[in-house]
Amino acid sequence: MNASRPSVHPVEAPPPVATDAAAEIPMPRGRMKDIQGMPGTRGSLALRLSQFALSVVALCFMASTSDFPSVTAFRCLVAAAGLQSLWSFSLAIIDIYAILVKRSLRNSIIISIFTMGDGITSTLIFAAACASAGITVLIGNDLNDCGENHCSRFETATAMAFMSWFAVSPSFLLNFWTLASK
Amino acid sequence: MNASRPSVHPVEAPPPVATDAAAEIPMPRGRMKDIQGMPGTRGSLALRLSQFALSVVALCFMASTSDFPSVTAFRCLVAAAGLQSLWSFSLAIIDIYAILVKRSLRNSIIISIFTMGDGITSTLIFAAACASAGITVLIGNDLNDCGENHCSRFETATAMAFMSWFAVSPSFLLNFWTLASK
């Protein structure tokens, strides 16, 4: 901020080399170039919030059916969506903190923890979504047994879980890319 | 090799800078350091062959059951395992060629094609394996209906598909890492 204010006392001003160097650095707190979606950016916060919202919706739709505990894949979907929502909520809070205090999250250890967590949660929710999709298609198309089952709720929960996976994948790939390009 | 031989004619010897530079390069054909599993290495060839074998076994076990076409997820597994076996077989042939002629496959375009192909085939086979696992568990544990179904063959095919995915994932991650660290 001082670099952009006109100097009132030119005699006491710092040497011009220092001001040039400061003007060349866009973010003076040691930030590298930010690709939106990397940890600590607004893009990452948006991804985290959408992951959280979608997994919570999937969890609610699946848990609102009365017969989900009788199918293992649906129980797995509830568990995976719960884990995903907790993880995304925690990371969203960390992103909000990083944006508010303008701190960079470019530490190797932090990014490797984020990458591993994203990889594990995204694999789990994708696996649960695929298993639920397999069973929903089996009930709906192969057996034509949607009359006595909550097919629409199962389908909505599965679709939301897939969309949550679509929102986690960019976070995982961007974190992995950041880790590899260090 | 010349660098380690004592120089007999010191006057006619090439300048020492050139010999030092030649001695520092371990592989003179322009290879970067090889991590086993990257394209063109023996580790990569082993991964490709195991992917091919496992997906072929999954395909054969699933296709040998008489009632797999009645379930969508099992048809998907057959399709995904077929695609995976074709892709892995092609890449195994490319790896054998690269090993035989000692060529490096470090071209950015080649590696990005390999990464995309690995990502797509591994996602497909993982999705099909999860869907089949969901239905197999539904038949075996939730409905206790293994008497009139080929549960053991379904389980074997699903397990082989999962192991094939386990073998594709290192290839995908190593290719992505190579691409990002360029």
- Is the per-residue pLDDT at A65 higher than 50? yes
A47-63 pLDDT, tens per residue? 999 999 999 999 999 99
A26 inside domain: no
DSSP structural state of residue A13:
S
A129 inside domain: yes
Distance from CA of A90 to the nearest CA of B (A): 26
Give strand pairing partners of A107.
Answer: none
Of B135, B141, B177, the CB nearest to A138: B135
A4 compared with A98, residue with greater pLDDT: A98
Taking CB atoms and an 8 Å cutoff, what residues of chain A touch B137?
Answer: 72-73, 131
Cβ separation A134–B70 shorter than 8 A? no
- Is the per-residue pLDDT at A5 higher than 70? no
Number of domains in chain A: 1
A135 inside domain: yes
B7 inside domain: no
Report the C-alpha gap between B157 and B162 in whole angstroms: 9
B148 inside domain: yes
pLDDT above 90 covers a percentage of chain B that reads 43
Report the C-alpha gap between B117 and B95 in whole angstroms: 15
Burial class (CB in 10 A: 0-12, 13-18, 19+), A3: middle
- pLDDT level of residue B33 (50, 70, 90 thresholds): low
Taking CB atoms and an 8 Å cutoff, what residues of chain A touch B73?
Answer: 134, 137-138
The rounded mean pLDDT for chain A is: 81
Radius of gyration, alpha carbons of chain B: 24
- Is the per-residue pLDDT at B20 higher than 60? no
A34 inside domain: no
Q: How many Cβ atoms are within 10 Å of B105's Cβ, its own excluded?
A: 20
Q: What is the 3-state secondary structure (H, E, C) of B22-70?
A: HHHCCCCCCCCCCCECECCCHHHHHHHHHHHHHHHHHHHHHHCCCCHHH
What ipTM describes this predicted complex? 0.73
Residue span of the structural domain in which A58 resides: 54-180
- pLDDT level of residue B164 (50, 70, 90 thresholds): very high
A123 inside domain: yes
- Is the per-residue pLDDT at B23 higher than 60? no
B17 inside domain: no
Of A71, A137, A181, the CB nearest to B138: A71
Lookup: tokens for A37 = 């979606």
Provide CB contacts within 8 A for A21, sequence distance 6+.
none
Of A73, A132, A137, the CB nearest to B72: A137
Report the C-alpha gap between B97 and B85 in whole angstroms: 18
